[in-house]
Chain A
Amino acid sequence: MLKRGFALLGAGCLAALVAAAPAFAQKTKVTLYTALENDQLGPFKQIIEAAVPEADIVWVRDSTGVITARFLAEKDNPRADMVFGLAVTSLILFEKQGLLETYEPKGVDKLRPQFRDGTPPYTWTGMDAFVSVVCFNTAEAAKGNVKAPTSWKDLTGPEYKGKIVMPHPASSGTGYLAVAAWLQIMGEAEGWKFMDGLHENIGVYTHSGSAPCVQAAKGERMVGIGFDMRGAREKSQGAPLELILPKEGAGWDMEATSIVKGTKNLAIAKQIADWGASKQASELYSKYYALVADPTVRNLPTNYPATAEQAMVKNDFAWMAENRDRILAEWSKRYESKAAPK
């Protein structure tokens, strides 16, 4: 009784504080969980709100792994209305746990086949794809007379010791797709052997998937294992960067949208999902990604590596989703408990 009285009292005091937040009239707040890059969120919000005027978009953004973990941790009491721009491997995982609403947005039949959820129930729709690349700083390499790598295997050479950065696969989608691709193209045993060698050369595993190419671009490290568009952007800003697609092929992942089961804003979420599958949406995606859902939209940015689309490996998303936990556990057993490089 007393305790409850205190709680109410406290709540009363706090209500005054909470009320201080500005209120928006007639717009419904829709919470979108995303792993899109920070600089994309502003424009996306603007355009989605123009297309769906009732919506007031609130982004919750973090790295792929973090958003995935957060979504799973909140599964009893979901705080997101939609997932907008998250690796499809994560969405397949959510679908398996029954956390996604079954809904097929209007116009998905016009999209590339691999951008549609092929197995019922229909829960996700692809937006864009991104590809692993090696960002290689030519200015730094020239100082040490280091040759550019042409294959993944080259990166295990002694000349790259301590000079490579890659994203942590547990927290970054870019990191996981690289690891998953190595295991798929080299086979499990070979793949882990390759990563053992690579680990010797890694300077740091970053939290974000953008950081490696940014660090390589600034010469803070010589080689960054990142993704295509970030590399192209940094190069266009004047960084002495070469974007290399290793000859074994490159991993890739797709970002997709989905509605969260149990959302209170289902009607608006459906409108946003419809918009996400539209041509207008693909045009927006194509400002940031080379390969987007609508096959008629194509807009390669400057400095985009020409061979990216050919280099994309045959990717088994279901395999990537199913084995995610196992691969990450193995990865952290091998590389996380090792002493820090001096």
Chain B
Amino acid sequence: MSVATVPLPVIAQRVSREAWVARAGVILLVAWLVLSIALPLWALLSKSFQNANGEFIGVANYLRYFSTPSLFNSIFNSVGVAIATTVIVIPLAFVYAYALTRTRMRFKGLFYAAAMLPLFAPSLLSAISLIYLFGNQGLLKGLMFGSSIYGANGIIVAQVFYCFPHALIIAVTALALADARLYEVADALGTRKSRIFRTVTLPGAKFGLINAAFVVFTLVVTDFGIAKVIGGQFNVLATDAYKQVVGQQNFEMGAVVGMVLLVPAVLAFVIDRMVQRRQVALLSARAVPLEPKQNRPRDAALMVYCLVIGGILVGVLGTAIWASFITYWPYNLTPTLKNYDFANFDPGGWSPYFTSIWMATLAAVFGTGIVFTGAYVVEKTRVMPGGRMIAHLLAMLPMAVPGLVLGLGYVFFVNARWNPLGFLYGTLAVLVINSIAHFYTVAHITSLTALKQIDPEFESVSASLKVPFWRTFARVTVPICWPAILDIAIYIFVNALTTVSAVIFLYGPDTKLAAIAIVHMDEMGASAAAAGMATMIVFTALGAKLLQLLLDRLLFTRLQAWRKR
């Protein structure tokens, strides 16, 4: 009897210790998410109902906002350019994606890579390029037929360039999967090609396209860099927020603009969720993957299309790089390196560039650690279901929150009188935390997807072998998920490097980032130096991506050998 009872308390103790660690994990995660996501947003919301002295004044700020035409007109401007961009970019990206997925065109990889290029540059790079191409002294000014690139036109064109890869990724995913049987049946019934496209292809990709439309719409409404550079006197919400907060230190009105900015983004997010819910599985277990058939005229035509679009994307990027080597546009075109002597244009010289790399590295390292461990806690532990659900919801929140709005929230949160974290204002730490929060959702979803692929049996077996879950996590889960982890790290690194809108309010005297230096240099007219700094960011981000591909090839083929037989 005594023999049987003695070990039991030991196991119970061990189990409870493990549970306590898991509970601590959940609590820490929720605390982190509340601190870095929920409280800043709360600070923004409450600020919009206060006056300059922090007293509650109800909706007075909103009344003032909506009774000032110069402010609320920006809503129409923002929504207008966003709709125009969406209408242009979705068909363009759809056809491009169609060529990549449903034809036997050659060089698909190359075309895909070309279309991804804008992801590696700050959004305003396209605007700088457009000024060199179509500005009043532009190379191709003749194509403008006397109208001006400054204003809505310029914003829309630059946004199309910037949003193209975002739309393309979703469109490719939507088109990649299709049931060949549907097409065979349609063919057998003698259905015309145009009809098949209308009744089979389009409905299959419908949800993807709607999703892409909302992503693009939100990106345009909330992007700051492009409107700042090429918007001229055309005011949009994002530049209004900047003018109110940075230009006039009118934080309350800035908070109102932030809340207004949140509306289209949240609306888009909610509608998108509702639409997605109606989506039914396209692929049943018996589906046959579609293999595109040879069709020379079609493939040739689409290849020309891809050459044109891909060529334009590369060309726009190339223009900025080329412009950064010009001595004095447009009167002295001799190539020079002096635009890279940034000290002549910005007090920080090269230091914003290194600050950016350091910030992005910290965000990638800490962010990946926090997000992946957090996702593990949410997905694999079995304690505090309520807490884990809250953590999951908070982790999904940043998706609906534009960077500019989150950045504003951080300003109010960190500067709040009651906040003991006030010392963080202007430090690198706050930029890192903000970047992690800003890109949390995508990293979280990637982690969950990777974790869901791992059989929960691992945890059960470990438990029965009396191995604590953190050892399973370190020895099994993390090694299996290396490719996903690396993917997350690079994703955060590249985005932290290129983002402008989230950090424009947050940097301090010692922590100016490269993307902000670009804004400042462009503002004082040094567009060649701005293009130079943007070029440095592009190459650094591309370098990081190449490093990832290389590591994937070299290291992980060995670590991941188990995936193959």
Contact = CB atoms under 8 A, between A and B. Distances in A.
Interface of A: 4, 6-11, 14, 17-18, 20-21, 31, 37-39, 41-42, 45, 58-62, 65-66, 69-70, 72-73, 139, 162, 170-171, 203-208, 210-211, 213-215, 218-221, 237-240, 332, 336-337, 339-342
Interface residues of B, number: 56
Contacts of B330: 218-219
B345 A10 contact: no
Contacts of A207: 247, 523
A10 B35 CA distance: 8
Interface in B218-239: 232-235
Contacts of A239: 328, 331
Interface string B390-432: 0000000000000000000000000000011100100111001
Given A42-B343, A42-B349, A219-B136, A337 B247 contact: no
Contact of B331 (A4, A21, A240): A240
Interface string B74-92: 0000000000000000000
Nearest to B150: A204
A340 B232 contact: yes
Given A20-B362, A336-B70, A340-B234, A38 B249 contact: no
B28 interface: yes
B246 interface: yes
B427 A21 contact: yes
Given A20-B362, A207-B247, A220-B137, A11 B420 contact: yes
A29 to B, nearest CB: 9
Contact of A9 (B28, B136, B137, B147): B28
Contacts of B329: 218
A17 B525 contact: no
Given A37-B524, A61-B347, A207-B523, A18 B424 contact: yes
Contacts of A162: 148
Contacts of B232: 203-204, 340-341
Given A10-B421, A42-B349, A211-B523, 20 more contacts: A4-B420, A6-B34, A17-B427, A20-B428, A38-B520, A38-B521, A42-B343, A58-B509, A60-B509, A69-B249, A73-B251, A203-B150, A208-B524, A218-B137, A218-B525, A219-B137, A220-B136, A337-B68, A337-B69, A340-B235
Among A18, A214, A332: residue with most chain B CB under 10 A = A18
B524 A58 contact: no
Interface of B: 28, 31-32, 34-35, 68-70, 73, 131, 135-137, 147-148, 150-151, 232-235, 246-249, 251, 328-332, 343-347, 349, 362, 366, 419-421, 424, 427-429, 432-433, 509-510, 520-521, 523-526
A205 B526 contact: no
A73 B249 contact: yes
- For the complex of A and B, 8 pairs with smallest distance between CB atoms: A214-B525, A41-B347, A73-B249, A337-B70, A69-B249, A17-B429, A340-B233, A6-B31
13 contacts: A14-B433, A17-B428, A20-B428, A38-B520, A65-B247, A162-B148, A206-B523, A210-B524, A218-B330, A238-B328, A337-B68, A340-B234, A341-B233
Contact of A38 (B135, B345, B428): B345
Contacts of A340: 151, 232-235
B344 A66 contact: no
Nearest to B347: A41
Contacts of B68: 337
